[in-house]
Chain A
Amino acid sequence: MEIGLVELSRLQFALTAMYHFLFVPLTLGLSILVAIMETVYVMTNRPIWRQMTKFWGTLFGINFVLGVATGITMEFQFGMNWSYYSHYVGDVFGAPLAIEGLMAFFLEATFVGLFFFGWDKLSKVQHLVVAWLVAIGSNFSALWILIANGWMQNPVGAEFNPDTMRMEMTSFFEVLFNEVAQAKFVHTVSAGYVTASVFVLGVSALYLLQDRHRDLARRSIAVASAFGLAAALSVVVLGDESGYSASHTQKMKLAAMEGMWETHHAPAPFTAIGFPDKEARETHYAVEIPWVMGLIGTRSLTQEIPGINDLVAESEDRIRDGLIAYDALMTIRDQRDATPQSVRDTFEAHSDNLGYAMLLMPYVDDPREATDEQIAMAADDTVPGVAPLFWAFRIMVALGFSFIAVMAYFFWRASFRQMQFPRWSLYLAVAIIPTPWIAAELGWFVAEFGRQPWTVDGVLPTAMSASHLSIADLLISLAGFVIFYTVLFVIEVRLMVKYIRKGPVQDVEETEAWQARHERRLKSSGVDPDAGVATPAE
């Protein structure tokens, strides 16, 4: 494949987006875990929980700032590198992005400063409220971003306006309550909660292995495993929900993820393992589990899931239909207000397939002059890379299920085995720290690579979306981002390690004050404080 402007633009977007998502999941989950810890502190007044809040809060801060910094790129990159996309769908896509700023990002960013600097300036309850506002703000951010992304996957509530040559919003509520967006939102934030839980679990396990900060570590494991178990279950359930909605909104993506070339009579089997071959159009050595795919995809035993070959044939029909819309659009563009109503009616009738006609743009300047062969090639282009999707999806799912197992195990040991963790389990917890990030990145890969060749599914091809920049522009910015982001990443990881090594700051004064109060309380209730007193750490 020749590396052109579009490929470079895609590469840059993929790199910056995936880099951004190294920090986001931890922000989403850790903000809530920290707020939970502070809630326990405010309710029990035990200094250990304040120590935990501050310690995990410090790590949260180091991570948060890079999430914010790399998010700036995301906000402007659409306009910089995807200017036709921005023009074409800004009327719909821009709204959730702007609302994210108004409703969510302002909240988290305004209060995050107070979270770190307000310990001595706020009352306990005020500070707790600030912590929760940061957590809520971060999570609302994710909601609006996923509404925007969900619309790219399933563009509801909008139609093409031939006078302005772009998609315009027809129903804000449909965009808002897009089923794909809702499923993706819960799936994504849950994945963030799992990430943070695995992180807290792993760092705490490290402390237990080193026999340091046992009080902080054991409590942190208790919180993280309970929260992580709920989140890990939610990720899988909502992942299934995403699969279900894909079966009627993004049939091609689903078929490609499954390496399902032919339409199978219902209920379709699930290919657990196999080697998809795009040339031969079959999946070699497939190990199939009967019925499962049909059940996941359609929740019925009778509905069929179309295979890739049938979907390509359907795409070809849609390209031909889209050409009628394209022809009418050219007339409207030239004649403007003088366009006969009949032409406008023709356009309306076929405008749903306009995007398919634009798939021909890489082959021919005027899609109306495309040959049958070119139409067939464009229809073939609607198949994304099957093998990468097939494998990425399976690794993600396997990781997802293993998180449930790990979290369940630690939850059980923490709740019913007096927090006694065998050493092998602690080593395991440390070793799996990177895996939720792998799962999350693969998830985004499946979602975005699986949507190709579209930026907006069925509406706007990726090849049309990019800005008309020069290759030199792209090479400069791409090299800049790679160097710049690598340096920042190295610095970030080293700081994280430094602060994990350093461990929590013991708050001596407050711990002693608490101990004194605690002993007074015990005395007044008639218990001898010397006989097996709970230390503030417990």
Chain B
Amino acid sequence: MILHELIDYDILRVIWWALLGVLLIGFALTDGFDMGVGALLPFVARTDVERRVAINTVGPVWEGNQVWFILGGGAIFAAWPPLYAVSFSGFYLAMFVILAALIVRPVAFKYRSKREDATWRSRWDWALFAGGAVPALLFGVAVGNVLLGVPFYLTDSLMPMYPGNFAAKFLGLLRPFALLAGVVSLAMLLMHGAAWLSLKAEGDVARRARSIGIVAGLVAAAGYALAGLWLALGIDGFVLGDVAAGGASNPLFSEVTREGSWLSAYADRPWIAIAPAMAFLGIAMAVLGLRSGREVSTLLWSKLGITGIIASVGLTMFPFILPSTLDPTSSLTVWDASSSHQTLFIMLVVTAIFMPLILIYTAWVYKVLWGKVTEADVTENSDTVY
């Protein structure tokens, strides 16, 4: 097949780098509010009916939302195999904890209200809480670690290696900056979940969600600003040497040094400042919206804020995807960690066909489900809803 020559290899790589961002943002915007609602559950809903209202606001959609995560994994595998190989094995135990949380969450949604027993339900409520809060925190910790650099290296045969024992590796992820990133991530998804509940629920649930959401939004903004300051003052960036245009995807072919600051990207490409601007604007407007009780616009502003935060990480690091502290040369970048020219092209064609379809039918499903979930909805359909 020669069709793939139609699009330059390096352009395809940039497109797939952007698509990676789109998938992560899609995950955060959709499954993000599911996780946020889960993490808010014990605090915004006290009685069983209230809890069921909160759960049923996401009941029909969490399953589709979660596919953004699965698809993210699949797309990283297909388009960035070295990233898939290095990151998931490097963060092994952290990934295991995330998987456990994400496995228990679907089951909790489905099984919680299948029995009347109060103990049964309360256990599943805690599972929903953990299934929301733990991944929300750990995804942020992972991003923080990526910015700090990860202690791995590649052998000559490109086998990923991570020296050190398991406990040191797992605890090593919990560095102060990474924890800060985790707090930002958790706070922004709490704000997002609150914005969702404010739209889909009524009465006490919505009111409590709004007051927690305001605090969460402020924490997210402050933490994000602090993280920016920390990056400016205390964390080294990485610099990529010369790379051959359209070169082979072998990370060892390019030289990387550790110097300067990540934030020098803003001097080289000033336009990327739009991302942090979006982040602050979105959060500020979402917080104001939560205060004044606006519903649809608040959710949209919250989405803008989250988009800004995630996009700013990618744009700041470009072209780095996963820098290595142990052997900077092993660092994965946009230019040397992708799939082959042909695979990237085929996957782009498939994505161009199916992504619009997905967006259309997902929008239709949300339209069908439009409207608030009330306590009456839950009590009258007690057998069929969650």
Cα A257 to Cα B158 with chains together (Å): 35
Q: Which of A100-108, A384-392, A407-415, A427-435 contacts B (4 or more CB under 8 A)?
A: A100-108
Q: Say if the beta carbon of A79 comes within 8 Å of chain B.
A: yes
Task: Let me know if B99 and A171 touch, CB within 8 A.
Answer: no
Min distance, Cβ B382 to any Cβ of chain A, angstroms: 11
CB distance from B17 to the nearest CB of A (A): 15
CB pair A86 B84 closer than 8 Å = yes
Given known contacts A98-B74, A109-B66, is B106 in contact with A91 (CB within 8 Å)?
Answer: no
Which stretch, B38-46, B160-168, B196-204, B323-331, touches the partner chain A? B160-168
Within 8 A of B (CB), among A50-99: 61-62, 65-66, 68-73, 75-76, 78-81, 83-84, 86-87, 90-95, 97-99
Cross-chain contact of A477 among B1, B77, B85, B92 (Cβ < 8 A): B92
Nearest A residue to B339 by beta-carbon distance? A91
CB distance from A503 to the nearest CB of B (A): 13
| B:28-82 near A, CB below 8 Å | 59-64, 66-67, 69-71, 73-79, 81-82
Q: Are A69 and B106 in contact, with the CB atoms below 8 A? A: yes
Select which of B70, B114, B115 is within 8 A of A101 by beta carbon.
B70
Q: Which residues of B contact A91 (CB under 8 A)?
A: 81, 339-340, 343
Residue from B88, B162, B342, B347 within 8 A of A468 (CB atoms): B162
Q: Are B103 and A70 in contact (CB under 8 A)?
A: yes
- A66, A91, A169: residue with the most chain B Cβ atoms closer than 10 Å: A91
Chain B residues lying within 8 Å of A488, measured Cβ to Cβ, are 103-104, 107
Instruction: Confirm or deny: B89 has a beta carbon within 8 angstroms of a beta carbon on chain A.
Output: yes
Instruction: Compute the total of residue contacts between A and B using a CB distance below 8 Å.
Output: 253
> How far does the Cβ of B80 sit from chain A's closest Cβ, in whole Å?
8
A289 lies within 8 A of chain B by Cβ: no
B85:A470 contact, CB within 8 angstroms: no
Stretch at the interface among B230-238, B268-276, B351-359: B351-359
Which residues of chain B are near A79, meaning CB under 8 Å?
73, 76-77, 84-85, 87-89
Which of B205-213, B220-228, B304-312, B362-370 lies at the binding interface? B362-370
Chain B residues within an 8 Å CB radius of A470? 165-166
Query: Given the complex, which residues of B lie within 8 Å of A472, measured CB to CB?
Result: 165-167
Tell me the bound Cα distance from A491 to B383 in angstroms: 19
B63 touches A84 (CB 8 A): no
| Residues in A whose Cβ lies below 8 Å from that of B75 | 98, 101
Report B176 CB to chain A, min CB distance, Å. Answer: 24
- The answer to whether A112 has its CB under 8 Å from any CB of chain B is yes
Known contacts A80-B95, A480-B100; A62 and B110 CB within 8 A of each other: yes
What CA separation (Å) do A103 and B103 show in the bound complex?
22
Smallest CB–CB gap between A501 and chain B, Å? 13
Q: Is A473 touching B343 in the complex (CB atoms < 8 A)?
A: no
Given contacts A98-B74, A116-B60, contact A165 B157 (CB under 8 A): yes
Q: Assess the B365–A467 pair: CB atoms within 8 A.
A: no
User: Is B96 among interface residues, defined by CB-CB distance under 8 A?
Assistant: yes
CA distance A71 to B70 in the complex (A): 9
Q: Once bound together, how far apart are the Cα atoms of A107 and B81, in whole Å?
A: 25
Q: How far is the CA of A166 from the CA of B251 in the complex (A)?
A: 13
Q: Is the interface of B mostly helix, strand, loop or mixed?
A: helix
Residue of A nearest to B345 (CB): A172
Chain B residue with the shortest CB-CB distance to A61: B110
Q: Chain B residues with Cβ under 8 A from A84's Cβ? A: 85, 159-160
Is the CB of A193 closer than 8 A to any CB of chain B? no
Is B85 a contact partner of A83 (Cβ separation < 8 A)?
yes
Residues of chain B within 8 A (CB-CB) of A98 are: 71, 74-75, 77-79, 347, 350
Give every chain B residue within 8 A of A161 (Cβ-Cβ): 248, 340
In the complex, chain A residues whose CB is within 8 Å of the CB of B64? 106, 109-113
- B56 to chain A minimum Cβ distance, whole angstroms, is 8
A177 within 8 A of B: no
Chain A contact residues (Cβ within 8 angstroms of B): what range?
Answer: 35 or more
Is A469 an interface residue when CB atoms closer than 8 A count as contact?
yes
Complex formed: what's the CA distance from A90 to B79 in Å? Answer: 8
The answer to whether the Cβ of A168 comes within 8 Å of any Cβ in the partner chain is yes
Distance of A73 Cα from B161 Cα, bound (Å): 22
Residues of B105-154 at the interface with A, using a CB-CB cut-off of 8 Å, are 105-107, 109-111, 114-115
Q: Give chain A's interface secondary structure class.
A: helix
Q: When each residue 492-521 of chain A gets 1 if its CB lies under 8 Å from chain B and 0 otherwise, what string results?
A: 000100110000010000000000000000
Distance in Å from the Cβ of B13 to the closest Cβ of chain A? 13
At the interface, yes or no: A417 with Cβ under 8 Å from chain B? no
Q: Complex Cα distance A193/B327, Å?
A: 51
Q: How far is the CB of A469 from chain B (nearest CB, A)?
A: 6
Residues of B within 8 A of A99 (CB): 74, 78, 347, 350
Judge if A423 is at the interface, Cβ distance under 8 Å. no
Q: B74 and A100: CB pair below 8 A?
A: yes
* Chain B contact patch, size range: 35 or more
Contact status A94-B77, CB under 8 Å: yes
| Min C-beta distance of A336 to chain B, whole Å | 7
Chain B residues with Cβ under 8 A from A107's Cβ? 361
Flag the segment in A118-126, A215-223, A527-535 that touches B: A118-126
Q: Assess A166 versus B158: contact at CB under 8 Å? Given A80-B95, A94-B79, A470-B166.
A: yes
Question: Which of B86, B99, B368, B384 interacts with A72 by CB under 8 Å?
Answer: B99
Query: From B59, which residue of chain A is reached at the shortest CB distance?
Result: A117
Contact flag A473-B73 (CB < 8 Å), given A65-B107, A467-B92: no
Cα A61 to Cα B70 in complex, Å, equals 20
Q: How far is the CB of A128 from chain B (nearest CB, A)?
A: 15
Bound Cα distance from A537 to B69, whole angstroms:
44
Q: Do A165 and B158 touch (CB < 8 A)?
A: yes
Residues of A within 8 A of B107 (CB): 65-66, 69, 488, 491
In the complex, how many angstroms separate the beta carbon of B116 from the nearest chain A beta carbon? Answer: 11
Inter-chain CA distance A163–B251, complex, in Å, is: 11
Bound form: Cα–Cα A99–B78 in Å:
9
From B167, which residue of chain A is reached at the shortest CB distance?
Answer: A472
Identify the interface centre among B84, B99, B342, B369: most chain A CB within 10 Å of its CB: B99
Across the interface, A169 reaches (CB within 8 A) one of B71, B115, B160, B340, namely B340
Contact B103 A69 (CB under 8 A): yes
Whether B63 pairs with A169 at a CB distance below 8 angstroms is: no
Contacts of A264 in B (CB 8 A): none
Q: Which of B76, B157, B362 has the most CB of A within 10 A?
A: B157
Is A3's beta carbon under 8 Å from chain B? no
Interface residues of B in 237-262 (CB under 8 A from A): 248-250, 253
Known: A97-B77, A106-B67. A90 touches B103 (CB 8 A): no
Q: Does A484 contact B (CB under 8 A)?
A: yes
Residues of chain B with a CB closer than 8 A to A499's CB: 114
The reply on A333 being an interface residue by CB < 8 A is yes
CB of A292 within 8 Å of the partner chain: no
CB of B70 within 8 A of CB of A72, answer: yes
List A contacts of B102 (CB < 8 A). 69, 72
Chain B 313-330 interface mask (CB, 8 Å, partner A; 1/0) = 000000000000000000
A65 & B109 in contact (Cβ 8 Å cutoff): yes
Closest to B170 in A: A473
For residue B79, which residues in chain A have a CB less than 8 angstroms away from its CB? Answer: 94, 98
A contact residues around B82 at 8 Å (CB): 87, 90
B346 proximity list for chain A (CB < 8 A): 95, 169, 172
Please name 20 further chain A to chain B contacts, defined as beta carbons within 8 Å, in addition to the given A73-B103, A79-B88, sorted by A numbering: A79-B77, A80-B89, A83-B85, A84-B159, A90-B85, A92-B343, A94-B78, A95-B346, A101-B73, A106-B67, A110-B358, A111-B64, A113-B62, A113-B365, A118-B60, A121-B369, A122-B368, A163-B248, A166-B81, A172-B346
Q: 14 A-B contacts, Cβ less than 8 Å apart?
A: A62-B114, A84-B160, A86-B88, A95-B346, A100-B74, A101-B67, A101-B71, A102-B350, A103-B350, A106-B67, A106-B354, A110-B358, A113-B63, A169-B346
The 5 closest A-B pairs by CB, nearest first: A90-B81, A79-B88, A94-B78, A94-B77, A113-B60
A-side residues, CB < 8 A to B, are 61-62, 65-66, 68-73, 75-76, 78-81, 83-84, 86-87, 90-95, 97-103, 105-107, 109-114, 116-119, 121-122, 161, 163-166, 168-172, 333, 336, 467-470, 472-473, 476-477, 480, 484, 488, 491, 495, 498-499, 505
